[in-house]
Structure 1
Amino acid sequence: MTAPAPTRRSGRWIERWDPEDERFWEETGRRTANRNLWFSVLSEHIGFSVWTLWSVLVLFMGPEYGLTPADKFLLTSVVTLVGAVARVPYTFAVAVFGGRNWTVVSASLLLVPTTAAFVVMEPGTSFSTFLLVGLLAGIGGGNFASSMTNINAFFPLRKKGWALGLNAGGGNVGVAAIQLVALAVIGAGGGPRVLLGIYIPLIVVAAVLAAFFMDNIENVRNDTGAAKDAAKDVHTWIMSVLYIGTFGSFIGYSFAFGQVLTNQFGRTPLQATYLTFMGPLLGSLIRPVGGRLADRYGGARITLCTYVAMAAATAVLVVAGMQKSLPLFVAAFVVLFSLTGIGNGSTFKMIPGIFQARALAEGLEGEEAVRYGRRLSGASMGLIGAVGALGGVGINLAFRQSFLSYGSGTGAFVAFLAYYAVCFALTWAVYLRRTAPATRATASAEAKPQLSYVEV
């Protein structure tokens, strides 16, 4: 007996979708989910490239543009801020319009900031104009939230770590991709408009492919109650703090790495670009590995170990900055980028597991527990993603202040080291300190389900 295929209606809507049913998943669900995953990755990839566009464009902007290092850090901070804020409405747009429909719309919207940048990118343009166009580029950051919410609905809980890690990692590669394309453009003697001219047709391709090959899921309905419940849940905000440390670091360093090399170590834009792409590339590619490790060993354990390693790498960066050792600095920065990728994968794996644990603690079972966990985890992902991206704003502002005060980024790295210590303590205290055996003993004594996060 074969599993029933997903039931469809017009407009590429799937009316029946049950990935937790293993027979449904193996016989019909996996193929559909994977197809949506790959085209989601493409759209999110282009979105990340547009969002981080200005981390590359500021390297093109020499003295003739009249911008100081502080101006450039402020510009990239504004872009990061808008991308973070956009993640909240983008999360709920999936439920309003459908995952496939919103992917088409959000991909098409990327034409606005790229075209605007193409028009204004020349010496003599005012700083306020650059800030306004940078605000537009921030919408590229919203694509991550809608993409993750959409893909979260397609995969069963046991596959979410790998699927969400792959989706996010493929998107994050857009950061490295635009830096590599910029490297080729600079090396060939081209200007910023050449770079923008390459990406405009790619945006059109991503939107068209999403329209033809992606699906909407009928039972992912707009639920404002889910948003309110997620916002009231303390774990949404705890995970936001942890995600600031992982993704906030990734996106913040992606925007700032090139500027740190040019301002602190005197690298030219071409020399800086030769080095900057390595960190985002490795951090992106390793994100699915973080998700897979979390699937196997538990997201909380992997997250805890990641913060220890991130703190160690940051300490090396402080030493390298004080000794003015460029090779040590670059090596430590690339390692730190890789660790942020692992942490990104493990933290996002934790989210569905946490809300599934809450469902069980409420006494829910079977499909009812699955629906509860999927409902709150999908809503919380947008909030967590938005707050986490605000970490990128903080990193760029910290670098700006550090360069204004000390002439280097060392002061900022000391602050980041302290933050990673806080995240380590929070992960251990909330998600690992209460062990599963102790929880079971308490549950037996009280004859009611108790929360256990040690396996999330």
Structure 2
Amino acid sequence: MAAFPALVSRPGRWIDNWSPENSAQWAGPGRDIARRNLNWSIGCEFLGFVIWQLWSIVVIFLPAAGFRFSSSELFWLISMPSLVGATLRIPYTFMVARFGGRNWTVVSALLLLLPATGLAWCVADPRTPFAVMLGVAALAGLGGGNFASSMANITYFFPVREKGWALGLNAAGGNLGAAVAQLAVPVVVTAGAAAAGAAGSLPLAGLIWIPLILLAAFGAWKFMNNISSATSDIAGSLACLREPHLWVLALLYIGTFGSFIGFSGVFPKLLADTFGPSTGFTLGAATISLAFLGALVGSLVRPYGGRLADRWGGARITMVCFAALAVITLVQVWTLPLHYFGIFLGLFLLLFAAAGAGNGSTYRMIPVVFALRSRDRRQGHGTDDGAEVSSARKASAALGIISAIGAYGGFLVPQVLNASRTASGGYESAFYGFVAGYLLLMAVTWFCYLRRSSRAVLAGA
């Protein structure tokens, strides 16, 4: 049996000879090092999602604070962070290998100070021009980019047998940030309004996160590590771009994760537009919107989607999720005229649950599909494009690219709803469009991965 080199620690918290597949190293210091890095990674990514979704709840308070923006402009403030965050996920994927996972986690955490302080500054004055507000909202996209670098970093720390568990915890911990932001901001802003007025308390929506950001950055600097063996896989990225199933899976992920992050961002405004801004429950002097429940449910259900995919196949679970999304959305449209809050909220929570489960199942499909495509080529089917690059490398690169493309759903969902409201004064047309989209994606899933005659990837996907 070949001997593995011993771990070597260098200044700057660099680690050489890291090999989590080495059972002796993993049973020794390896497991504790990996878990420590995972814990601080989750904390930093959690705050990234908080900042990414801040504007989704802040826009609800802008009219009372004296801002006179149109509904269309408010939708742009909601959707702009997702547009920027999705775009940043691609370069963020390569930052870990370029600068070190610990180093980039510190930098990316400190960058969150820009959108947090920027939000506090611009919402303090109702005369702030919309263009300035939109620019500051775009800075919140920095939080969305954190997901890609965080996931890329943690994948280096864990052995294959525990990688799925670690990445699942990392993703779920981050996603919960959206729910916490939508829960905490109304408490702080409403409570502060009694003393400072609506406009005076609104900057707290950004300021309250600054101490936590500084703590997370310090913890990452103090306790995380850089892995010297982490390298950017440019060849793997280029090879997976030539794989047609990359684009199919990215389309499916827009439908699942895009629905989750898009509806998470817009749900507070939908509730306020449909039932009034004071809809929710009281907590002391604060009125708490129940919109945070959507992101909470979607985040908690996500791991179960992956678990169901492990047992029944990712394609089957994904197709069921799209069917559920279509049916739930259609029932939502039909029951809107009833104007019944319980039905509206209940159906949306079911929608978030279906989208969350679809997140897990679609993400689970990616390595399986690439592995089966590689097997298919070895058996003489298909083309040889990128065959020299292993399926594992292509799948790893695809995870980052697909997560970036899927995040564009966070921009598309609010803008489709905005277009519907502008054209017809309501959201019914948008919901019918979503139903058609989910049915189309269900058909794509069946056609590419489940029909009997499909040769490329089938039962195992």
1:410 lines up with 2:428 in the alignment: yes
Q: 1:116-138, CA deviations, whole angstroms, 9 ceiling, x for partnerless residues?
A: 11111121111111011111111
Percent of aligned pairs sharing the same letter: 45
Q: 1:191-229, CA deviations, whole angstroms, 9 ceiling, x for partnerless residues?
A: 222222210111111111112222233332123222222
Q: Measure the CA separation in 2 of the matches of 1:301 and 1:18.
A: 35
Q: Which residue of 2 aligns with 1:90?
A: 92
Q: Measure the CA separation in 2 of the matches of 1:158 and 1:424.
A: 30
C-alpha RMSD of the superposition: 2.7
* Residue 343 of structure 2, aligned match among 301, 316, 328: 328
Q: 1:363-383, CA deviations, whole angstroms, 9 ceiling, x for partnerless residues?
A: 59xxxx9x9344222322222
Give 3-state SS (helix, strand or coil) of 2:395's partner: helix
Q: Measure the CA separation in 2 of the matches of 1:139 and 1:85.
A: 10
1:153 lines up with 2:156 in the alignment: yes
Distance of aligned partners of 1:225 and 1:100 in 2 relative to their CA distance in 1, 3 Å threshold: same
Distance of aligned partners of 1:118 and 1:133 in 2 relative to their CA distance in 1, 3 Å threshold: same
Runs of 4+ aligned structure 1 residues displaced above 6 Å come to: 269-272
Give 3-state SS (helix, strand or coil) of 2:232's partner: coil
Bigger fraction of residues in helix: 1
1:36–1:215 Cα contact (<8 Å) kept: yes
Q: Which of 272-281 and 155-164 deviates more?
A: 155-164
Give 3-state SS (helix, strand or coil) of 1:65's partner: coil
Q: Measure the CA separation in 1 of the matches of 2:87 and 2:351.
A: 25
2:450–2:458 Cα contact (<8 Å) kept: yes
Q: 1:409-441, CA deviations, whole angstroms, 9 ceiling, x for partnerless residues?
A: 221111111111122122222223358xx97xx
Q: In structure 2, what residue type is equivalent to 1:236?
A: L
1:216 lines up with 2:226 in the alignment: yes
Q: Measure the CA separation in 1 of the matches of 2:317 and 2:160.
A: 18
Q: Which residue of 1 aligns with 2:316?
A: 301
In the TM superposition, residue 269 of structure 1 has moved relative to its aligned partner by: 7.0
Q: Measure the CA separation in 2 of the matches of 1:28 and 1:428.
A: 45
Q: Which of 179-188 and 352-361 deviates more?
A: 352-361
Q: Measure the CA separation in 2 of the matches of 1:85 and 1:142.
A: 8
| Equivalences for residues 424-435 of structure 1 within 5 A | 424-433=442-451
Distance of aligned partners of 1:154 and 1:356 in 2 relative to their CA distance in 1, 3 Å threshold: farther
1:47 lines up with 2:48 in the alignment: yes
Q: Which residue of 1 aligns with 2:129?
A: 126
Q: Measure the CA separation in 2 of the matches of 1:45 and 1:128.
A: 28
Q: Measure the CA separation in 2 of the matches of 1:212 and 1:434.
A: 54
1:56 lines up with 2:61 in the alignment: no
In the TM superposition, residue 256 of structure 1 has moved relative to its aligned partner by: 0.7
1:391 lines up with 2:391 in the alignment: no
Q: 1:119-167, CA deviations, whole angstroms, 9 ceiling, x for partnerless residues?
A: 1112111111101111111111101111122223333444444332221
* Residue 287 of structure 1, aligned match among 268, 292, 302: 302
Q: Measure the CA separation in 1 of the matches of 2:148 and 2:304.
A: 20
1:165–1:290 Cα contact (<8 Å) kept: no
Q: Which of 258-267 and 236-245 deviates more?
A: 258-267
Q: Which residue of 1 aligns with 2:242?
A: 232
Q: Which of 58-67 and 352-361 deviates more?
A: 352-361
In the TM superposition, residue 5 of structure 1 has moved relative to its aligned partner by: 8.2
Q: Measure the CA separation in 1 of the matches of 2:165 and 2:343.
A: 32
Distance of aligned partners of 1:150 and 1:455 in 2 relative to their CA distance in 1, 3 Å threshold: farther
Distance of aligned partners of 1:5 and 1:432 in 2 relative to their CA distance in 1, 3 Å threshold: farther
2:110–2:214 Cα contact (<8 Å) kept: yes
In the TM superposition, residue 293 of structure 1 has moved relative to its aligned partner by: 2.7
In the TM superposition, residue 336 of structure 1 has moved relative to its aligned partner by: 0.9
Give 3-state SS (helix, strand or coil) of 2:318's partner: helix
Distance of aligned partners of 1:425 and 1:17 in 2 relative to their CA distance in 1, 3 Å threshold: farther
Q: Which residue of 1 aligns with 2:419?
A: 401
Q: Which residue of 1 aligns with 2:284?
A: none
Give 3-state SS (helix, strand or coil) of 2:289's partner: helix
1:184 lines up with 2:187 in the alignment: yes
Q: In structure 1, what residue type is equivalent to 2:424?
A: Y
In the TM superposition, residue 6 of structure 1 has moved relative to its aligned partner by: 6.5
Q: Which residue of 2 aligns with 1:76?
A: 78
In the TM superposition, residue 170 of structure 1 has moved relative to its aligned partner by: 0.8
Distance of aligned partners of 1:156 and 1:345 in 2 relative to their CA distance in 1, 3 Å threshold: farther
Give 3-state SS (helix, strand or coil) of 2:208's partner: helix
1:81–1:390 Cα contact (<8 Å) kept: yes
Q: Which residue of 1 aligns with 2:269?
A: 259
Q: Measure the CA separation in 1 of the matches of 2:223 and 2:309.
A: 30
Q: Which residue of 2 aligns with 1:312?
A: 327
Q: Measure the CA separation in 2 of the matches of 1:426 and 1:24.
A: 44
- Using the size of structure 1 for normalisation, the TM-score is 0.88
Which consecutive unaligned segments of at least 5 residues does structure 1 have?
440-450
Distance of aligned partners of 1:164 and 1:404 in 2 relative to their CA distance in 1, 3 Å threshold: same
Q: Measure the CA separation in 1 of the matches of 2:373 and 2:68.
A: 54
In the TM superposition, residue 303 of structure 1 has moved relative to its aligned partner by: 1.6
Give 3-state SS (helix, strand or coil) of 1:286's partner: helix
2:451–2:458 Cα contact (<8 Å) kept: no
Q: Measure the CA separation in 1 of the matches of 2:240 and 2:131.
A: 37
